[in-house]
Copies of this chain bind each other. A is one copy, B any other.
Amino acid sequence: MLATFMYGPGDVRVEEAEEPKILAATDAIVRITLSCVCGSDLHAYHGGGTRSGIARMGHEFLGVVEETGADVQTLKKGDLVLAPFVWADNTCEFCREGLHTSCRHGGSWGNGDVGGGQAEAVRVPQADGTLVKLPVPADSELLPDLLTLSDVMCTGYHAAVKGRVSAETTVTVIGDGAVGLSAVLSAKLLGAPRIILMGRHPARTDLGVEFGATDVVAERGEEGVAKVQDLTNGDGTHVVIEAVGFPAAYDQAFGAVRAGGTVSRVGVPQYQDANVGFARMFFRNITLTGGVAPARAYIEQLMPKILDGTIHPGRVFDRTVALPDIAQAYQAMNDREALKVLVRP
Interface residues on A, range: 20 to 34
A294: B residues at CB distance < 8 A: 285
Do the beta carbons of B289 and A283 come within 8 Å of each other?
no
Q: A94-B259, A287-B287 known; A277 and B282 CB under 8 Å?
A: no
Give 1 or 0 for each of A259-290: 1 = CB within 8 Å of chain B CB: 11000010011011111111011111111111
Do the beta carbons of B276 and A288 come within 8 Å of each other?
yes
A269: B residues at CB distance < 8 A: 276-278, 282
Q: A286-B291, A289-B288, A291-B286 known; A278 and B50 CB under 8 Å?
A: yes
Would you give the shortest CB distance from A283 to chain B, in whole angstroms? 6
Complexed CA–CA distance, A275 and B281 (Å): 14
A342 at the interface (CB under 8 A from B): no
B101, B260, B287: the one within 8 Å of A285 (CB): B101
A230 at the interface (CB under 8 A from B): no
B102, B265, B272, B290: the one within 8 Å of A259 (CB): B102
Complexed CA–CA distance, A272 and B291 (Å): 21
Q: Which of chain B's residues has its CB closest to A259's CB? A: B102
Complexed CA–CA distance, A278 and B108 (Å): 15
A162 at the interface (CB under 8 A from B): yes
Do the beta carbons of A291 and B283 come within 8 Å of each other?
yes
Do the beta carbons of A278 and B268 come within 8 Å of each other?
yes
Complexed CA–CA distance, A224 and B290 (Å): 27
Q: Which of chain B's residues has its CB closest to A108's CB? A: B283
Do the beta carbons of B283 and A101 come within 8 Å of each other?
yes
A97: B residues at CB distance < 8 A: 260
A99 at the interface (CB under 8 A from B): yes
A197 at the interface (CB under 8 A from B): no
Complexed CA–CA distance, A159 and B69 (Å): 48
Complexed CA–CA distance, A184 and B223 (Å): 43
A12 at the interface (CB under 8 A from B): no
Do the beta carbons of A260 and B50 come within 8 Å of each other?
no
Q: Which of chain B's residues has its CB closest to A281's CB? A: B291
Would you give the shortest CB distance from A69 to chain B, in whole angstroms? 27
Complexed CA–CA distance, A280 and B273 (Å): 10
A286: B residues at CB distance < 8 A: 291
B162, B268, B285, B291: the one within 8 Å of A291 (CB): B285
Do the beta carbons of A273 and B277 come within 8 Å of each other?
yes
Give 1 or 0 for each of A46-58: 1 = CB within 8 Å of chain B CB: 0000100000000
Complexed CA–CA distance, A269 and B288 (Å): 15
A292 at the interface (CB under 8 A from B): yes
Would you give the shortest CB distance from A221 to chain B, in whole angstroms? 19
Do the beta carbons of B284 and A287 come within 8 Å of each other?
no
Q: Which of chain B's residues has its CB closest to A276's CB? A: B274
Do the beta carbons of A276 and B276 come within 8 Å of each other?
yes
A276: B residues at CB distance < 8 A: 269, 272-274, 276, 288
A289: B residues at CB distance < 8 A: 287-289
Do the beta carbons of A273 and B271 come within 8 Å of each other?
no
Other A-B pairs, 6, CB within 8 Å; known A271-B277, A272-B277, A276-B288: A94-B260, A99-B260, A268-B278, A269-B277, A272-B276, A288-B288
Top 8 nearest A-B pairs by Cβ distance? Answer: A272-B277, A285-B291, A102-B259, A287-B289, A99-B260, A288-B288, A273-B273, A282-B291
